[in-house]
Amino acid sequence: MNESKRDSVPQNKRSFTIAASPLNPVKFELGIILFIGFFLLISVQGFAQSPVAQIGILAGYGIISMLWLIFRTKRLLAQSGKSHE
């Protein structure tokens, strides 16, 4: 059982490392989406006067971002599954 534990978390003598996730690009894109969304939230009042338009812009951005992340995740998982076969 001790050997299987060593295989799950590869270790160096100086420190330990964890294997890279196939979803790291999606995590990076999520960070970019959140960063842009924060600045959109702050600046939406400058170019949309109506509260309904502001909510619509933010909701549209959220929906498009969600669909993009779902698409990317499914595509990466499908590629990851094919590479393991």
Q: Would residue 1 count as lying in a domain? A: no
Q: Would residue 37 count as lying in a domain? A: yes
Q: Would residue 14 count as lying in a domain? A: no
Q: Would residue 13 count as lying in a domain? A: no
Q: Each residue of 40-78: pLDDT tens digit?
A: 999 999 999 999 999 999 999 999 999 999 999 999 999
Q: Would residue 59 count as lying in a domain? A: yes
pTM: 0.72
Residue 4, number of CB atoms within 10 A of its CB: 7
Q: Residue 70 sits in which domain range?
A: 21-84
Q: Would residue 31 count as lying in a domain? A: yes
Q: Which of the four pLDDT bands, split at 50, 70 and 90, describes residue 37?
A: very high
Q: Count of domains in the chain? A: 1
Q: What is the mean pLDDT of residues 22-41?
A: 95
Q: Would residue 41 count as lying in a domain? A: yes
Q: Would residue 5 count as lying in a domain? A: no
